[in-house]
A and B are shown apart, each in its own frame.
Chain A
Amino acid sequence: MTVALAMAAPVAEVGSVDVAGERAVCDRRGVLYFPEFRLLAVSDLHLEKGSSLARRGTLVPPYDTGATLLRLQTVIADYQPSIVISLGDSFHDGGGAARMHASFRERLEGLMVGRDWFWVTGNHDPEAPADLPGETVRELAIGSLLFRHEPSAVRVEGEISGHLHPCARIVQQGRSVRRRCFAGDGGRMIMPAFGAYTGSLNLLDRAYAGLFRRETLMAYMLGTERIFAISHAMLRPG
């Protein structure tokens, strides 16, 4: 198939990727782990999105916070990171942390014990979350990496961001698959949204225009068992 010849891939091993020279693991559960720093990054948790919608009359199940925290608990147990960065939009709105059910708050605080925990501010949560430990920052530089919520318009090598909730779609044999994904071109990386009720935006949408080097852009699509690295040339809009 000729499509394959036009592609270039910046990774040798599926799931493992270089961002500005730092090695990272793209976990199929939607978190990024840097072994050298024992650093785990997670983006767009959107905790308490359910209750945020309920306030406006859409009574979706109030279990999103619980579901998101449970998944976070599992990956933290697997990687045992010493640093955790929540890359912004950790809560769906400014009042989210205050609304959180006591049992969820306890679970979250439990995860934070013994680690350096950073809340990067996002557009949904520009202030520090109410009554929670951890340090609130606008952005954070570690090694050659820069963590911030929104990708900068100007290219910044080593930038890890979230905000756009990337997903990718491919078509094979007349069938279409759409999944959340990491998007990276070797220089910068945009992380998928982690929250249970978060939607996603196709990587080919104009919101991503100019952010990546097209020729090396890959979508690391989240499979049920593993990550699938798909070249930019195979992606479809929608």
Chain B
Amino acid sequence: MAARPGFAGPNSNRSPFVRILLGDCASPRYLWHVTEQPRLAQQNAAVVLPEPFVKWFAEKGWSPRAHQIDLLAKAQDGQSVLLIAPTGAGKTLAGFLPSLTELAGRPRRRPGQAHRGIHTLYISPLKALAVDIERNLGKPVAEIGLPVTVETRTGDTPAHKRQRQKLAPPDILLTTPEQLALLIAAPDARRFFEDLRYVVLDELHSLVTSKRGHLLSLGLARLRSFVPALQTIGLSATVAEPDELRRWLVSQNPPGPMAELIVVTGGAKPDISILDSEERVPWAGHSARYATPEIYNEIKRHKTTLLFVNTRSQAELLFQELWRVNEDTLPIALHHGSLDVAQRRRVEKAMGENALRAIVATSTLDLGIDWGDVDLVVHVGAPKGASRLAQRIGRANHRMDEPSKAILIPANRFEVLECRAALDANYLGAQDTPPLVNGGLDVLAQHVLGCACGAPFHADALFEEVRTAAPYADLDRPTFDRVIDFVATGGYALKNYERYARIRLNKDGLWRVSNPRVAQQYRLNVGTIIEVPALNVRYVQPGSRGAASRGGRVLGKIEEAFLETLTHGDTFMFAGKVLRFEGIRENECFVSNAPGSDAKVPYYGGGKFPLSTYLAEQVRAMLDDPQRWKKLPEQVADWLRFQADKSVLPKRDDLLIETFPRGNRYYLVAYPFEGRLAHQTLGMLLTRRLDRAGAKPLGFVATDYALAIWSLADMGRMFRAKKPSLAALFDEDMLGDDLEAWLAGSWLLKRTFRNCALISGLIEKRHPGQEKSGRQVTVSTDLIYDVLRSHEPDHILLQATRADAATGLLDVSRLAEMLSRVQGRIMHKNLEQISPLAVPIMLEIGKMPVHGEADDTLLMDAATLVEEAMGTK
């Protein structure tokens, strides 16, 4: 490979500066590909790079990269900057260059002189990333002889080190959003940050879309109020709307110019293909079991293969299947978020050492560190979003000019369409990262209490400060005042708790924490990450149910909700093994090795993404265009032709509804392609309406692509008689009263409320001296929800809950867009029998777990058993 003139030294085709900076790993992740004009960069380099750096570069025979110099120049000009570069382009180094060069020019602290404050704050979503960077920054700092100290501060940092950091702060502090929240809630925060110059935000694209991002934006607003000249440097993967991030990085009150933008375009076009299987692609299901031998052959043909799946259960299943055919006993490992940390670290280490041939992984590997010499990415199941696919493929092979290689394995026929759409989208460089949403009021409540813990505040000033944060730029004053009221006394219309206020307004117009215990509790409960209640999974002797055999190995953690559905003796897959459920004792679930190798209960949740809007549109477009079917595998194209023959294929912007009888029931199948969450909500609302219309609906099932409802009455006939008409059935007004009525008692809303209650500080996650498991929270949030809803439905926390549900679990916003799009475009096909397109979703009926709504029906079933047995019925 040829070295690029002016970019790299004679001895290397990669940037040695980066290699050194980031340690011994010589990781492909930090190689890059730059497209800016080299000459400009060199000229700039002379202007902005301080002498010791130039000298150091020269000694080594290296030269810096264009985007580094560009970023440095803009930063030295006083600008905040957003650097967008694909995974592995070495953005992190670029982010630190302004700090390192500035620190290099600072006079050394003389003995006896007061300690200087933090100069640069680096914030990453992952603790591990912070640790990684600390290790790798050390070397160049030493070699250039920079008077710079670099330290991490995470949840794992020991108390004495934190204490010392407060007294003698490092120049560069590497930390997480939660730790920042804690730092600004400390009484000495203003002094601690008074020398702050830069905040470097890594993996910004992944931070901003969550409540963690909201909390971080508020923390940043606070820092800005301490140090108005503060500059931010955002590092991000490619996103759909860079301007959103550019605004996010700077004050929005008043909105000034956005942060400067530097874009590094990607390297060689990735080589992506869809597995053209010899086998029959199944109609439905998610296992892709049919392709196992073909996947295994690919693993054999490559050095290291990274296999991505969408859920943990898929990961377990694929891992089992691969080992079933692993005749050569290749080292194939499993990696997902529920596994024991020690186990995960072992896999990561083995991978870094290139000791593995394949790793089956979920989204836990989406972000993060260096993964050895991966030369093939296999994506099993549909990618669900074009951006996600691009990120995952970016994991493979960062050598310059060599394309990443990836194979997509659709698990069923709809996924073939989706993979094809994603593939086309990736070549087009399409991006479908989710749009940013307004900041959560629960997060704001947490922040307000945090501010009070730090120092007394004036409501007017804090309001103006909060509005500098992009997610809260549109916040109105009455809402802000209600949040303060909530923090103080719960914000209830019934003013009962004045004497128990957590913060109080004093005569000087300042809000203060009413007693030190409030601050202590705040510190224990900071953050927005709510852990789903989970139990340790521990090995015991088969057949033993408890204490006697305690002490076996812990395999990882599984959600309590899944374990609750198991009976003694049930078998399930976890940690790459088939396990037998022996019982639950306190916080542990006991398991033994199952005698057979077939798990009875393979399902458990975690890591599900709905189909992105963008990809959904691409799939609809493909259905509508027979020309594009040529690119599809023959069996799938045949399937679509069959559908055109037996029923019809929907036009790009139409909604196809099929009705047909089957067995002694009638079915309605709709194909909105709007993702599982939106379909689930639609299913709930439609069944309510159909019930009122007398269709006697019995149930429904939702997938990413379609929705099926079954009933006792002939819905096809009802629609033709316009009793009701489909237009009326799908009218947008279903998002009004019906939604409200359904939501009121929905478990979905209760779960959302629980999160809001915990984040806002209404209920404590942790109390001094004790960790609470999900069930032991002071009062069940379900009970609080019921009481609050009936007594004060407009309470600020319920407002926050509804806002969350609309974008989260219910995806109401997406449903609303769809309903509005299909007005007047509903195509009804009344059929004698099931259509080819309907087969996949019909196969899902009975397979998918349905949650919560029909509790009483289950009780009825159980009680009926008793009645039948007793002959009383």
Binding site for B on A (CB under 8 A): 1, 3-5, 7-9, 12-14, 49, 51, 53-55, 57-64, 66-67, 101, 169-177, 179, 196-199, 221, 223-225, 228-231, 234, 236-238
A7 near B855 with CB under 8 A, answer: no
Binary contact track B357-372/A, C-beta < 8 Å → 1, others 0: 0000000000000000
Q: A4-B866, A55-B500, A62-B497 are in contact. Are A197 and B784 (CB under 8 A)?
A: yes
CB pair A238–B584 under 8 Å, yes or no, is yes
B316 to chain A, nearest CB (A): 17
Chain B residues within 8 Å of chain A by Cβ, number? 52
Q: Which B residues are in CB contact (< 8 Å) with A63?
A: 492, 494, 787-788, 790-792
Which residues of B have CB within 8 Å of A179? 855, 859
Least CB separation from A169: chain B residue: B564
Given A59-B497, A223-B859, the answer on whether A49 and B490 have CB atoms closer than 8 Å is no
Whether the pair A174, B849 counts as a contact (CB closer than 8 A) is: yes
The 4 closest A-B pairs by CB, nearest first: A59-B490, A4-B869, A63-B791, A62-B496
A169 vs B492: C-alpha distance when bound (angstroms) = 34
B342 adjacent to chain A (CB < 8 Å): no
Is A231 in contact with B866, judged by CB distance below 8 angstroms? yes
B859 touches A51 (CB 8 A): no
11 pairs, A vs B, C-beta closer than 8 Å:
A7-B870, A51-B496, A51-B500, A58-B762, A58-B763, A62-B492, A63-B790, A173-B858, A175-B849, A228-B863, A230-B859
* CB–CB A234/B851 < 8 A: no
Which residue of A5, A59, A199, A236 is within 8 Å of B489 (Cβ)?
A59
Given known A62-B492, A172-B858, contact A5–B869 (CB-CB < 8 A): yes
Taking a contact as CB atoms under 8 Å apart, the answer to whether B791 and A61 are in contact is yes
Does B47 make an interface contact (CB < 8 A)?
no
- Choose among B788, B790, B861, B869 the residue that contacts A172 (Cβ–Cβ < 8 A): B861
- Secondary structure of the B contact surface, majority rule: helix
The answer to whether A9 touches B855 (Cβ under 8 A) is: no
A174 with B601: CB separation less than 8 A: yes
Please tell me which one of the listed residues A13, A58, A66 contacts residue B764 in the complex, with CB atoms under 8 A apart. Answer: A58
Q: Is the CB of B517 within 8 A of A67?
A: no
B862 at the interface (CB under 8 A from A): yes
Segment with Cβ contacts to A, from B273-281, B679-687, B775-783: B775-783
* Residue on B nearest A176 in the bound complex, by CB: B564
Could you tell me the distance in whole angstroms from the C-beta of A92 to the nearest C-beta in chain B?
Answer: 11
Chain B residues with CB under 8 Å of chain A are 489-490, 492, 494, 496-497, 500, 502, 517-518, 521, 560-561, 563-565, 567, 584, 601, 762-764, 778-780, 783-784, 786-788, 790-792, 795, 849-851, 855-856, 858-863, 865-870, 872
User: Considering residues A58, A225, A234, which has the most beta carbons from chain B within 10 angstroms of its beta carbon?
Assistant: A58
Distance in Å: Cβ of B589 to nearest Cβ of chain A: 10
Known: A4-B868, A67-B787, A67-B791. A177 touches B763 (CB 8 A): no
A238/B784 in contact, CB under 8 A: no
Q: Are B851 and A175 in contact (CB under 8 A)?
A: yes
Q: A9 and B788 in contact (CB under 8 A), knowing A51-B497, A196-B783?
A: no
A54 touching B584 in the complex, CB below 8 Å, given contacts A4-B865, A60-B763, A172-B862: no
Chain A residues with Cβ below 8 Å from B494 are: 62-63, 101
A170 touches B859 (CB 8 A): yes
User: In the complex, how many angstroms separate the beta carbon of B296 from the nearest chain A beta carbon?
Assistant: 32
Contact A53–B490 (Cβ < 8 Å): no
> Are B866's CB and A7's CB within 8 A?
yes
Nearest to B763 among chain A residues (CB) is: A58
Residue in B489, B521, B763, B859 whose Cβ sees the most chain A Cβ within 10 Å: B859
A199:B496 contact, CB within 8 angstroms:
no
User: Do the beta carbons of A7 and B862 come within 8 Å of each other?
Assistant: no
Inter-chain contact B856/A224, CB cutoff 8 Å: yes
Chain B residues near A172: list those with CB within 8 A.
Answer: 858, 861-862
User: A177-B855, A224-B856 given as contacts; is B790 within 8 A of A67 (CB)?
Assistant: yes
Give min CB distance, B94 to chain A, whole Å: 46
Give complex CA distance A62, B494 in Å.
Answer: 7
A174 to B786 CA separation, bound complex (whole angstroms): 26
Contacting residues, chain B, for A101 (C-beta < 8 A):
494, 496
Interfacial chain B residues near A54, Cβ < 8 Å:
490, 496-497, 500
**B851 / chain A contacts, CB cutoff of 8 Å:** 175
Q: Name the residue of chain B whose CB is nearest to the CB of A101.
A: B496
Which residues of chain B have C-beta atoms less than 8 A from A3's C-beta?
A: 865
Q: Name the residue in B561, B563, B858 with the highest tally of chain A Cβ atoms < 10 Å from its Cβ.
A: B858
Cα distance A196–B866 in the bound complex, in angstroms: 30
Nearest Cβ distance between residue A9 and chain B, in whole angstroms? Answer: 5
**Complex contacts, B790 vs chain A, CB 8 Å:** 63, 67
CB-CB < 8 A to A12: which residues of B?
872
Asked whether, in the complex, the Cβ of A228 is within 8 Å of the Cβ of B763, the reply is no
Given contacts A58-B763, A59-B497, A61-B492, whether A7 and B869 have CB atoms under 8 Å apart is yes
Partner of B780, one of A13, A67, A199: A199
> Cα distance A171–B805 when bound, in Å?
27
Give the residues in chain B near A57, CB-CB below 8 Å.
Answer: 500, 502, 517-518, 521
Contact of A177 with B859 at beta-carbon distance under 8 Å, contacts A57-B500, A67-B787, A171-B567 already known: yes
Q: Across the interface, which residues of A come within 8 angstroms of B601, CB to CB?
A: 174
Give Cα distance in the complex from A198 to B489, angstroms: 22
Contacts of B778 in A (CB 8 A): 53, 58, 60
State the Cβ distance, B526 to closest chain A Cβ, in Å.
Answer: 15
CA distance A199 to B390 in the complex (A): 47
Q: Which residues of B contact A8 (CB under 8 A)?
A: 870
Contact for A14 among B764, B850, B863, CB less than 8 A: B863
A156 to B742, CA, bound (A): 46
B-chain residues with CB within 8 Å of residue A169 when the two chains form the complex: 564
User: A225–B855 Cα gap in the complex (Å)?
Assistant: 11
Q: Is the CB–CB distance between A228 and B795 below 8 Å?
A: no
Bound complex: CA A13 to CA B489 (Å)? 48
Verify A61–B863 contact, CB threshold 8 A.
no
Chain A nearest CB: distance from B569 CB in Å? 13
CA distance A236 to B566 in the complex (A): 10
| Complex: A221 Cα to B784 Cα, angstroms | 21
Are B565's CB and A174's CB within 8 A?
yes
Q: Is the CB of B762 within 8 A of A66?
A: no
* Residue of B561, B870, B872 contacting most chain A CB atoms (<10 Å): B870
| Cα separation A238 to B566 with both chains bound (whole Å) | 11
Contact B856 A60 (CB under 8 A): no
Shortest C-beta distance, B263 to chain A (Å), equals: 48
Residue of A nearest to B790 (CB): A67
Q: Which residues of B contact A61 (CB under 8 A)?
A: 490, 492, 784, 787-788, 791-792, 795
Q: Which residues on the A side are within 8 Å of B564 (C-beta)?
A: 169, 171, 176, 236, 238
